[in-house]
Structures are given as C-alpha cells and as structure tokens.
Structure 1
Amino acid sequence: MRLLLFLFLCVPTILLAQDDLFAKEYYKNGDFEKALVEYKRLYAKSRSNISYIKQIIDIHQQLEQYKEAEDFLVKIISKTNYPAFYVTLGYNYQLQNNTEEANQNYNIAINSLLVNSNNAYAVARAFQDYSLLDQAISTYEKAMELKPQLNLKLPLAQLYGENGDIEKMMLNYIDFAEKNPVSLNNVKRALNSFINEDDNNQSNIILRKLLIKKIQQEPNVLWNELLGWLFVQQKDYGKAFAQEKAIYTRNLDGLDRIMNLGKIAEKEKEFENAKSIFNYVIDEAQDIDTKLMAFYDLFQIETKEAYASTYQDLQNKYLALFDTYGTFAQTLDLQISYAHFLAFYMNKTEEAISFLEKALKLPLNNLQTADIKLELADILVLKEEFNKALIYYTQIQRNLKNSEISQKARFKVAKASYYKGDFKWAESQLKILKSSTSQLIANDALDLKLLITDNKYEDSLQTALKRYAKADLLAFQNRNDEAITLLELILEEHKTEPIIPQALYKQGKLLEIKKQFENAANNYQQIIDNYREGILIDNAIYSLAELYLYHLNAPEKAKELYKELIFNHADSIYFIEARQKYRKLRGDAIN
C-alpha cells in the first residue's frame, strides 16, 4: 500500500523533473525546436510556472518567431494579473524595431504601480532582465513616489551602479544605510566594489564629498563611520582616527573600535598613527583592562622602534607602569613583554628570568602559568641552555595537552633540538605537528621538517645544515649582523648544496630588518632566477613584490610579480593577497 502511495505521489514529480532536464539540455545545446516542444509539454502540466512561460517566449524570440511569442503573451496576459509580462511583450516589439508599441507596453507595466505599488519588484526585475536599466530605475522611483514608506534604495543603488552613475548609486546606498543601519556592512561591501586605496580615485572622491556634506547638513555617527571606513581603505589612518574620535565623543560607548583601528595601523606599519591611537585610548579609557591593553600595544611598537641608546627609557616606562598598576595577574601580559625586552634587547637575561620566576608565584590559572614558562624557556634558548628550556616546554605539553599553547611548546622543543644540531629528534616532533589544529604551527612545522629532510643527507657531517641552524639561532637571539655574516659563509662555501635558496631567503628577511632593501631584493631575485623549481619560489616572488611596492617605489615591477604569482602559483599561501594587490595596482574595482 505504501509503495502504491509513493508511486502515485512521487512518480509524476520525478518524470516532470526528468523532462525539465531534457528541456534545459536542448536549450543549452542550441536545439531550440526540441527545447520548445519540451517546454510546451512542461507548461501544459504546470500553467502557473513563470519560468516555463519565460523559456517558451525566449525560445520563440531566439527562433525569431515574434508573432508566436506575441500571441502566447497576449493569451497569458488575458488570464493573469502579472504586469511584468507587459515588459516582456514590449521587449518582443523592441526586437522587431517597433519602438512605439514597445514603449506603450513599458508604460502600461510602469503605470500598474498606480494600482499596486508592490508590483515594482516584478516589473523592475523584468526590465533588468532585458538590460533596460533606465526603465527599471523609473519603476522603483515611481513606486517610492507613490508609496513613500517603500525603501527601494538598495536595488536602485545597484541599478545606478550598473548604469555607471556612481554618484547616484552611492547616494542611494547611503540613504539605504540611514534607514537600515544593521545593513551597514552590506553597504560597505557594495561600495568596496568601486573604491580603492587611491584617494584620488574618482569614486573615492565622490563618496568622500557625499559623506562630508551629510555630516555638515545632518550630523549622524553613521556618516562618520562610513567616512572612517573609507579612510581605512585608503590607508589614511590619521583621518580615520579623527572620525572614530568624533563617534566616541558623541556616543561614549567604549573604545573597542578605536583599539581595533590602532591594531590595523600597527599591522600596516603605520606606527606613528598607531601610537597616537593607543595613547588616546590610554588617556580616555575608564577601565584598567583597556588601558593596559593599549599600553601593551604601545610598548610593542616602541620596542620595534627602539635603539640601544633608548632602551633605558623604555625600561623606565615599564617600571613606572608597574609602580602604578602593580605586578599582579592583571598586568601579566606586560610583565612577560617586559621580561622579553630585558632578555632579547637589553641582554639582561638573569634579571628577566628572576622577574618571571616571581611572576610564577602569583595566583594564576594554568594558561597564564604556561605563558610565563614559554617565555622563560625562550630566554633559556637565548642563553643556549637548551636542556633547561626543554624542561619548561615539556611541562607545558604535559599540563595543557592538545591545546594550542601545548602544540606551540612542542614546536619549540623541535626548534631547540634543531638549534642544537639534533635533527633526528627535531624531525620526530615535527612529524606530529604536521597535523596541528593551528594552521600556522602546522605550516611552520612542515617548513622546518622540509628544511631538515632536504639537507641532512647532503654530507655526513651536515656542516651546511648545522651552520644554517646556528644562523637561525643567532637571528632568534637578535644577533642579526652575525646571522647575516654566517649565512654569507654558507652561500660562499656550499654553493652546490640545496641549502642555498633557504640561506638566500633567510638572509633576505634579515636584510629587510636592517632596512637594506636593495640587498634583500637581490637575494630574492637570485632565488627567482636560479631556483624556480624550489619550494621557496612563491615566497621569493611575494617578498620581492612587497619590497618593490612598499620600499623601492617600483609599483609596476610589484604588479608584474603579483601577476606571476597569481597565474603560475595558484596553490601559494600568498595567492589571495597577491590577487588583491595586483587588482588594486591594475586599478580594478575590488570586491
């Protein structure tokens, strides 16, 4: 009985779907006569299916059977109350160059809004289907004129964009955002298709003028937010900061947005703007946690910019902060940062270790304890006391199994073993980490494993690999000049060994830190010229492109390198960023 019921209910539907597939396949292959037969058969079984009606009309038009299309449409119109079909009938006349009849039917469709303004969606959509954008725009505008509570600004904005009227498009997006603030992110995404990093780009200028005019005429933090967002796209973080301050002054609802802007500026190496932002947060924040976060980010930048002659000033800032806020769990991130600064910059390793050992006596949770031990172990590696460091790393792994910090500790165990020249043990740890839940750790583990595997068998003494590991350790210890010199020795004495591209790349990165950009570019170019089949080719292409773009004032060269990476290295981890930067340099609209 159930089988009979299933057959009765479902078999007709299955057969109809199968006929639909046949019809689509005939149409796709340009076999319009057969497609027409199939769609007429489908329509006979489902006369309310608009999709079948449209396909029948379209096929008649493909076959230039305009009279048949007209007769079919007239019959449909007489039986249905669907004004969009007048657009279809008008277009059928237009295909025959009968402009008068076409416009007459278009007007009937638009005037149907006098009876029911909600017809606007279907009528405008029909105009869009035939790329009749002016008529579609008129439809939406007339609907809102007849029924002001209708908000059709979003589809109107899209139509103006398709029609190339950028100013009206942007104005409608802005008006839509005003009435629908929750849709602001969608509006930003839409606008992002027309603006780019160039503040002289015409679309950027139009949007900026519209928003400034809005701010002057009818103040609303929404305009400040959009204007601030535009300045971020242009990487003009100072002006974006001014807008964020205006928003904060009016709302006083937290400093999270301003903190996020500071982090963006820091990531983009706009350190002066980032410092201004973090100092503002420190001055304005009412809660200690926000102040301390801003201090932490500020000190990270000041550490990057510090010279040996200014180290004492920065240390005094840390100590003054601890005098004010104490050395409690609340300031733990700053305490760890301070210990790192003492050890890696001021070479006060014993003082740093003593400071962290005191921090371990605070009432802490397991994760906070692990953070301290991780820094302690790193300082011990800095001192080349590898066995002591391994004790801390192992404790972290044991106490926080399967956590990200545990996996980070395991990677550092492997790295310490590699620094020591114990490549076999390092490999065993790296094999486990290839499946790490942290993609970053997994990638780092794979890179180090490949480095060891590709070079450990080259000679029985593993001289080149040991030298490279030593140079890597020197870089970790902030002894960059010594690392660069040792890598140069490898490049001179191991010219035929597979370690060479790795040494060139590592040295290039260290030369960048030293701001020796021309020399770094030369290293990357050597990899591109001589090691195209190696695993570092995409790294070298991307790194050289970044140097050309940001430091060597050669955007055209950067564009060509991004293009090469896109078309020849689609599996690269740099693919997405390279594609975005290439399109911006080419002047494309970026989604």
Structure 2
Amino acid sequence: MKRKWILHIVFVLFTVYGFSQNSQLAKQYFEDGDFDKALAIYKELYDSQPYNNTYLTYLVQCYQQLEQYTEAQEVLLHKLDHSGNPIPLTEIDLGYNYLLQKDSVKATYYFDRTIKYIEMKPEYSGSIGYQFHKYSLLDYALQAYTKGMELKPNLNYGYAIATIYGEQGNVEKMFDTLLDLYATNEQQQTKIRRALAQFITEEPSNQSNQLLKKLLLKRTQSAPDTKWNEILSWLFVQQKQYNMAFIQEKAIYKRTNEISLDRLTDLALAATEDKENATAISIYNFIIEKSNFNGAILEAELAIIKLLSQENPVPEKEIEDKFHKLLPEYGMIPQTVQLHIAYAHFIAFQKNNPEVASEHLKKLLKLNLSVFDEAAVKMELADILVYDQHFNEALIYYSQIQTKLKNDVIGQNAMFKVAQTSFYKGDFKWAENQLKILKSSTSQLIANDALQLMLVITDNSQEDSLQTALKIYAKADLLAYQNKDTEAIKLLDTILTKHKGESIEDEALYKQAKLYEKAKAYDKAIINYEKMLEFFDGGILTDDALFALATIYEYHLIDTDKAKEYYEKIIFNHQDSIYFVAARKAFRKLRGDNLGS
C-alpha cells in the first residue's frame, strides 16, 4: 500500500514537472513570435487543463496572432457554454475577437453585456475595467470603473481612471482625478506625484504646468487645505521656483503650527543644490525665527554662514558678526563642534590668521569628543596647518584620522590629503604610492580625485626627470588652496610660457581656467578650455573641459545653443565620462524634453 502511494506521488510530480516544462517552452515560442509552435503546445495544455485561464488566454492570443479568429471564437464560446456562471472577462475576450474581425455589432453586444454584470455584482468592476483597459477599450474601461464606484462607493479606482484620462489626452480630467485621490488617500500621495510628474516639465510656461497650477489655485480658494499647498510647493520645486515654493511652505507651517521644520529644511537644501542661495538664506532665517530647538537653529545659522562664504566678494563683516554672536551664546561644548570648526575655517582661510584658528581647534580637542567629532576637528586643523605650510604637523593629524577610521570615508579622505600634502611638499613619489591605493576607494569622488592627481604626477615625471614644471605646478596648486588666486594664475603662466608643449601644459590650462571661473573671468576661462580642446583633444581632461564650457555657456553666458553643443560632444564622444549622465540630462532639458522627476 505504502509503495502504491509513493508511486502515485512520483507520477503526479513527473506530470506537474512535464506541464511546467511544456508551459515554459510554449511561452518562449510565443515571446519569440513563433505562434504556430506555441499554439500546438497550448492546445495540448488547455485540453489537459480546461480550467486553466492562463492557457486559455495564450491559446486565444495564438489564434488571433495567426488570424484564425473562428478557432478562437469556438474556444471562447465553448468556455462560456459550459460554465454555469457568467464569465465577464471571457465575454470581453470574445467581444474583442469580434472586433478584430471588424464585427462591431457583435463586439458591442458582448461589451454591453459585461457592463450589465456590474449591476449584479459591483465587485466585478475592477477586473472588468482592467480587462477593457488591457485591450485599449478606454471608454468601456471608464464606464466599468465609474459604474462600480457609483454602485459601491467604498470602491476606489481613481488612479486607474486618471491613467485612462491621461492616455486619452484629457490632461485636465486626469489632473482633477489625481487631485481628488490625493486628498483622500495618503498612502498613494508619492505615487500620485510621480504620475503628475510625467506630464509636467521644469518650464513654468509649459501648458500642463500652467493647467495644474490653475487647478490647484482654484482648489485653495474654494476648499482651502494644506494638501493643495503641498502640491503647489512640489510643483514650484519641479520648476526650480524655490521662492514660490517657500511661500507655500510658510502657509503650511502657519496653518498647521508644525513643531517640525523638516519640510523647510529640505526646501533650503534643494535651493542650495540649485545655487538659489538667496532663497535658501531666507528659508534658513525663517527656521531660525520659528524653531524652538537650539540644534536646528544652530544648523540653520551654520548653513547661512556657508552660503555667505560662497559669495564673491565674501561679506566678511556679516560673517564675523554672526560668529561673535553665536560663539558666546552656544559656548565650547561637544554639541557645538561644527560651529567651532566653521569659525576656525573662516579665521584661517578668509581672515588669513591660521595661528589663531589652529589654537582654537586645539582647545576644542581637549573636550570629550566622539571619535567622529574628533576626526572632524583634526581634519580641519590639518587643513589649516597645510594652509600655513606646516606640512609635517598636518601629516601627523591626517595619519591619526586614517589609522582610527581607515574603513570609513573620512579615513580615506584623510589618506588622500596625506597624498595631496606630500604633493604640495614636492614629495611626489610618496604621494604617488598613497594615490595608487586610493584608486580603489569606496568613495567614487575620492577615487576620481586620487586618479587625477596620480596621473598629474606620473605623466609629468617621465619626460622631465627633474620634475621642474611639476614643482611649479604643485606650488601653484598650493597657492590656489591658500586662496592666493592671482599669484597662482601668474605662476601657472610660467608653465604655459616656459614649458609649452609639455604634457603638464594641459593641467596648467585647466587649473588656471578654474581660477578664472572663480574670479568670474569667463572669457579667459573659455580661451583656456578651447586651447585644451585644440591642442590636447583626447587627453584625460578633455571631458572636464567640455563640461566646464557647457556649464559656463548655460549658466553664466546664457547661450543655450553653445551649451548644447558641448553637452552633445560628451554624450557622443565620452560615454565613459563621469559627466555623461549630467550632460545627457542637461542636454535634454535645454532641448525641451519632458524629464519628469
């Protein structure tokens, strides 16, 4: 008896396995467009399992692909005739089969019958609507979904209905439906924003953008709700109108009396990323005014200081006044480490008083700091010591960080700075050894910087055994680090005149061009970049020069055609470039493509 059971189980397993194998083979034939072979297997499978709807669907589709509509019709009618209950989806399949034969009368008969089933059982509406939608019978799909919702209000097909309106090109109805859904279904709000994003662009004058804005403003007036402010804010962010988004976020904050200012912080960060510094500063000032949390206030103050430090010229007096207010107010405690790091950086790099900055940070190191805070302080201290050309002392601090946090990004960054400092000192061999290790850094940014500096050393050591030009370049690089840009530019001129034609000329042109950009001398920067493309085309800095030219023309000279020209060269000729993705996105935006979000 036991043996019979075992044999039975083995037989069943082999049978199931056989069906599975045949099913996979049939599907492969179908996907390859070999419908005759797929049909033969699906007929066999369906004959063996007439209740398997998947086999029925593929069988019918095979007949239809082979234009054997009568055979498909017979299979579907047989299914309907031998069922004791209505099968709405099969009737839709049958109606569609008649439609393929241009018999719209019979097709309509079955489609209308299917809609009537919804009156008997509203729950059918979802699957019926989906089946109509699958066949692109959009009017019937809408009819099914709306009828189901009318008969049973707890059914919600809003998203499916909005999708159909979008496919029909009825953008206004689609927006309205999505907004209705946004108001009632918090779980789908992210999904709804993604759907809206497919129909808008970064351009505020875009017709769909204007339509969505109009519908939202209408809702804020007729039925005020912070949800509409949220989407308006989101729309303005997509359009890079951060000041307009800020107005909406302030309205949300005032109406809800939110304790958290996270939304405003996120907006400030987005504005900063797009270099809308004035708007970001306004947002941070609002956070300072409204927040009751000292940590959030201090973060906002430091963010403002960082933004002010990026201005040209830097408003030193304003920054200094802020520090004089904040330092005594917050004191020197472990919780205010970032404040003191920022202050030391300002004193050293902006006020050119590295000794005072170093002493300030050494006092900070006497506190009971976490390992990461200690590393941050030592990193800034070492940076200042490099600025002051106390290279050996700086190397000690960098090495301490590297030893304690060797598996962390900050440890790898310290290792890079060891190499960079050695480069400034003229110890090129030691720098090169460190950089070889860093090429495989887990941080892509550090790995790229390491590779670039290593190539500067190796490329310019082979043809010049005395490394004369390389030493001049390293000195110019240090001057740039010390914010002595005019001196750095003059020293780079020495390379460009006395070492013309050497491989380091490419590096010198690029470094000098970056300093010209910093000084807003864009015409001079362009000349350098164009020289690089003329004389060093195909070199390691070609894509850097192309991207720099593209961004100058896009953001500073507002010449869209020239910007597109340089972005396009990266897209077609430098597909392995680190700028490829950014160049493609920028090119498509300038061309007017809808990028979504």
Q: TM-score higher than 0.5 here?
A: yes
1:179 aligns with 2:184: yes
1:278 aligns with 2:284: yes
Cα contact 1:430–1:445 (8 A) shared by 2: yes
Letter in 2 for 1:258: L
- Once the two structures are TM-superposed, the CA of residue 29 in structure 1 deviates from its matched residue by 4.4
Q: Which residue of 1 aligns with 2:262?
A: 256
Q: 1:504-519 counterparts in 2 under 5 A?
A: 504-519=509-524
Letter in 2 for 1:266: T
Provide the secondary structure at the position in 1 that maps to 2:42.
helix
**Separation (CA, whole Å) in 1 of partners of 2:6 and 2:400:** 64
Describe the shift of the 1:503–1:249 C-alpha distance in structure 2 as closer, same or farther (beyond 3 A): same
- Once the two structures are TM-superposed, the CA of residue 170 in structure 1 deviates from its matched residue by 1.5
With normalisation by structure 1, the TM-score equals 0.95
Q: Which residue of 2 aligns with 1:499?
A: 504
**Separation (CA, whole Å) in 1 of partners of 2:372 and 2:327:** 22
Q: Paired residue for 1:23, among 21, 26, 48?
A: 26
Q: Which residue of 1 aligns with 2:233?
A: 228
Q: Which residue of 2 aligns with 1:34?
A: 37
Describe the shift of the 1:259–1:32 C-alpha distance in structure 2 as closer, same or farther (beyond 3 A): closer
Cα contact 1:413–1:426 (8 A) shared by 2: yes
- Once the two structures are TM-superposed, the CA of residue 206 in structure 1 deviates from its matched residue by 1.2
**Separation (CA, whole Å) in 2 of partners of 1:495 and 1:109:** 82
Cα contact 1:192–1:589 (8 A) shared by 2: no
Q: Paired residue for 1:534, among 528, 531, 539?
A: 539
1:305 aligns with 2:311: yes
Describe the shift of the 1:83–1:521 C-alpha distance in structure 2 as closer, same or farther (beyond 3 A): farther
Q: Paired residue for 2:204, among 187, 199, 203?
A: 199
- Once the two structures are TM-superposed, the CA of residue 475 in structure 1 deviates from its matched residue by 1.4
Q: 1:321-340 counterparts in 2 under 5 A?
A: 321-340=326-345
- Once the two structures are TM-superposed, the CA of residue 240 in structure 1 deviates from its matched residue by 0.5
Q: Which residue of 2 aligns with 1:123?
A: 128
CA RMSD of aligned residues (A): 2.1
- Once the two structures are TM-superposed, the CA of residue 135 in structure 1 deviates from its matched residue by 2.0
**Separation (CA, whole Å) in 1 of partners of 2:578 and 2:188:** 32
Identify unmatched segments of 5+ residues in structure 2: none
**Separation (CA, whole Å) in 2 of partners of 1:3 and 1:490:** 87
Cα contact 1:237–1:273 (8 A) shared by 2: yes
Provide the secondary structure at the position in 1 that maps to 2:123.
helix
Q: Paired residue for 1:149, among 138, 151, 154?
A: 154
Letter in 2 for 1:57: V
Question: C-alpha offsets along residues 173-214 of structure 1, whole Å, 9 cap, x if unaligned?
Answer: 222222221322221122111111100011111111111122
Cα contact 1:468–1:490 (8 A) shared by 2: yes
Cα contact 2:574–2:580 (8 A) shared by 1: yes
Describe the shift of the 1:26–1:494 C-alpha distance in structure 2 as closer, same or farther (beyond 3 A): same
Q: Which residue of 1 aligns with 2:78?
A: 75
1:583 aligns with 2:588: yes
Q: Which residue of 2 aligns with 1:269?
A: 275
**Separation (CA, whole Å) in 1 of partners of 2:156 and 2:547:** 46
Letter in 1 for 2:259: D
**Separation (CA, whole Å) in 2 of partners of 1:172 and 1:528:** 53
Moved more, 430-439 or 146-155: 430-439
Describe the shift of the 1:337–1:216 C-alpha distance in structure 2 as closer, same or farther (beyond 3 A): same
**Separation (CA, whole Å) in 2 of partners of 1:44 and 1:106:** 27
Letter in 1 for 2:409: E
- Once the two structures are TM-superposed, the CA of residue 463 in structure 1 deviates from its matched residue by 2.0
- Once the two structures are TM-superposed, the CA of residue 461 in structure 1 deviates from its matched residue by 1.1
Q: Which residue of 2 aligns with 1:396?
A: 401
- Once the two structures are TM-superposed, the CA of residue 408 in structure 1 deviates from its matched residue by 1.5
Letter in 2 for 1:255: L
Letter in 2 for 1:110: I
- Once the two structures are TM-superposed, the CA of residue 572 in structure 1 deviates from its matched residue by 2.4
Q: Paired residue for 1:450, among 455, 459, 464?
A: 455
- Once the two structures are TM-superposed, the CA of residue 582 in structure 1 deviates from its matched residue by 2.5
How many residue pairs get aligned? The number is 590
Letter in 1 for 2:218: K
**Separation (CA, whole Å) in 1 of partners of 2:353 and 2:20:** 77
Provide the secondary structure at the position in 2 that maps to 1:456.
helix
Describe the shift of the 1:494–1:136 C-alpha distance in structure 2 as closer, same or farther (beyond 3 A): farther
Cα contact 2:492–2:508 (8 A) shared by 1: yes
Question: C-alpha offsets along residues 520-541 of structure 1, whole Å, 9 cap, x if unaligned?
Answer: 2333333344434222232222
**Separation (CA, whole Å) in 1 of partners of 2:16 and 2:542:** 55
Describe the shift of the 1:24–1:507 C-alpha distance in structure 2 as closer, same or farther (beyond 3 A): same
Describe the shift of the 1:550–1:124 C-alpha distance in structure 2 as closer, same or farther (beyond 3 A): same
Cα contact 2:126–2:148 (8 A) shared by 1: no
**Separation (CA, whole Å) in 2 of partners of 1:403 and 1:186:** 35
Letter in 2 for 1:281: I
Q: 1:231-242 counterparts in 2 under 5 A?
A: 231-242=236-247
Moved more, 488-497 or 463-472: 488-497
- Once the two structures are TM-superposed, the CA of residue 3 in structure 1 deviates from its matched residue by 9.4
Question: C-alpha offsets along residues 302-354 of structure 1, whole Å, 9 cap, x if unaligned?
Answer: 1122636x423421221121122223223221111111111111111111112
Q: 1:360-439 counterparts in 2 under 5 A?
A: 360-439=365-444
Cα contact 1:194–1:590 (8 A) shared by 2: no
Describe the shift of the 1:387–1:537 C-alpha distance in structure 2 as closer, same or farther (beyond 3 A): same
Q: Which residue of 1 aligns with 2:321?
A: 316
- Once the two structures are TM-superposed, the CA of residue 455 in structure 1 deviates from its matched residue by 2.1
Moved more, 339-348 or 425-434: 425-434
- Once the two structures are TM-superposed, the CA of residue 557 in structure 1 deviates from its matched residue by 2.7
Moved more, 435-444 or 147-156: 435-444
- Once the two structures are TM-superposed, the CA of residue 388 in structure 1 deviates from its matched residue by 1.2
Provide the secondary structure at the position in 2 that maps to 1:157.
helix
Describe the shift of the 1:140–1:402 C-alpha distance in structure 2 as closer, same or farther (beyond 3 A): same
Cα contact 2:182–2:192 (8 A) shared by 1: yes
Provide the secondary structure at the position in 2 that maps to 1:553.
coil
Letter in 1 for 2:140: Q
Cα contact 2:26–2:41 (8 A) shared by 1: yes
Q: Which residue of 2 aligns with 1:53?
A: 56
1:66 aligns with 2:69: yes
Q: Which residue of 1 aligns with 2:575?
A: 570
Moved more, 188-197 or 359-368: 359-368
**Separation (CA, whole Å) in 2 of partners of 1:518 and 1:536:** 19
Provide the secondary structure at the position in 2 that maps to 1:389.
helix
- Once the two structures are TM-superposed, the CA of residue 39 in structure 1 deviates from its matched residue by 1.2
**Separation (CA, whole Å) in 1 of partners of 2:550 and 2:10:** 64
Provide the secondary structure at the position in 2 that maps to 1:459.
coil
**Separation (CA, whole Å) in 1 of partners of 2:569 and 2:89:** 48
Letter in 2 for 1:580: K
Q: Paired residue for 1:289, among 286, 291, 295?
A: 295
**Separation (CA, whole Å) in 2 of partners of 1:402 and 1:520:** 39
**Separation (CA, whole Å) in 1 of partners of 2:520 and 2:423:** 28
Cα contact 1:504–1:527 (8 A) shared by 2: yes
Letter in 1 for 2:224: P
Describe the shift of the 1:327–1:151 C-alpha distance in structure 2 as closer, same or farther (beyond 3 A): same
Moved more, 496-505 or 187-196: 496-505
Letter in 2 for 1:293: E
Cα contact 2:554–2:560 (8 A) shared by 1: yes
- Once the two structures are TM-superposed, the CA of residue 6 in structure 1 deviates from its matched residue by 7.6
Describe the shift of the 1:163–1:354 C-alpha distance in structure 2 as closer, same or farther (beyond 3 A): same
Describe the shift of the 1:156–1:460 C-alpha distance in structure 2 as closer, same or farther (beyond 3 A): same
